[in-house]
Chain A
Amino acid sequence: MSHPFDTIEIGTRIDGVPFSPTRESIREFCEASLDFNPLHLDDEYMKGSFGKTQFGGIIMHGMNNFGVISKTLTDWLYPLGGVHRRLETRWKAPVKPGDTITAHAVVTARKVTGQSRWLTLDVGVRNQRDELVAQGEAMVEFPVT
């Protein structure tokens, strides 16, 4: 009997469920993550500049992107018996209340190691204007049982 790993080809694409942050959801993320950085709370503070960057209002936590990407991977992996092993991300643009973001992943490599089976994926998050707001790389494992 073939294992799901054997049928996953390079180029396989996974699309996540759209996520629409609001001022309330950003506040709730503060409560749930205990990250009360004023970047996510204080509009007055956010009128200032940060080095060369001006945000012009509160922004969503970068780690909310991370959570949305991670969920996209686990939603795909759990039914296949796969394990989410690694996620690396960089933030490309801020996400603001009213935006809608969607994560995606594309399988870029397959590797059978001495004891297991692995996939590498490029991951990204795009907003409603199709701008890339986060990108990175993930690794998932399909353990040999």
Chain B
Amino acid sequence: MSTPSGQAFETDFWKDEQLRKVWDQIIPGEPRKTIPYLLTLEAIQKYCRVVGDLHPLYFDEAYAKTTPYKGLIAPPAIHILLMFACTPADDWMRSPGTVNAGQSWSYNLPARPGDTIRLEARALDKFIRKDRLFVVHDNVFFNQHNQVICSGRGQTIRPA
């Protein structure tokens, strides 16, 4: 499968498993390797359809131009796609068995079709609680104008 920006996307998350850092190797504060991603209208609408969000701000350009947004935008939660689109196959977010334990996101500007999105990401902290291995994530997405789209903090439970 390839992404709308033409980059190959490996959908078998087992394939690069040996290359990924395990909990012991994750260093809080160390930047993760990321990849700029061209966000297309097709990718935005594909996401919108699967969550049942057919708002015309994401589908109807003529309507969107009449709103304060002055054109088509992506919904705030598009970072769900961007997190995987902007990270390489050996990124530890893909480790099979990774369990999402909670997230918080702040939204500044909407992403728009045609934006080239850049991610700055790192583990911020890691700890053991109730016999589980946790990592705290720190993520900020920017557009091609270096404006912040959104920033997020998440926790995952890492496979032992």
Question: Known contacts A31-B46, A34-B3, A85-B106; is A68 also within 8 Å of B99 by CB?
Answer: no
Q: A11 — which chain B residues lie within 8 A by C-beta?
A: none
A78:B55 contact, CB within 8 angstroms? yes
Q: B6 — which chain A residues lie within 8 A by C-beta?
A: none
- The total of interchain contacts (Cβ-Cβ below 8 angstroms) comes to 126
A90:B55 contact, CB within 8 angstroms? no
A36:B80 contact, CB within 8 angstroms? no
B81:A34 contact, CB within 8 angstroms? yes
A87:B75 contact, CB within 8 angstroms? no
A35:B84 contact, CB within 8 angstroms? yes
Q: Look across to chain B and name the residue whose beta carbon is closest to the beta carbon of A38.
A: B96
Task: State A88–B150 Cα separation when bound (angstroms).
Answer: 13
B51:A64 contact, CB within 8 angstroms? yes
Interface size on A, residues (CB 8 A): 43
Q: Which of B68, B80, B107, B132 touches A81 (beta carbons < 8 Å)?
A: B68
Task: State A64–B77 Cα separation when bound (angstroms).
Answer: 10
B104 at interface by CB-CB < 8 Å? yes
A50:B97 contact, CB within 8 angstroms? yes
Task: State A17–B55 Cα separation when bound (angstroms).
Answer: 13
A25:B102 contact, CB within 8 angstroms? no
Task: State A78–B9 Cα separation when bound (angstroms).
Answer: 34
Q: Which of A38, A62, A88 touches B100 (beta carbons < 8 Å)?
A: A62
Binding site for A on B (CB under 8 A): 1, 3, 9, 11-14, 43, 46-47, 49-53, 55, 57, 67-68, 75-77, 80-81, 83-85, 94, 96-107, 131-132, 157, 159-160
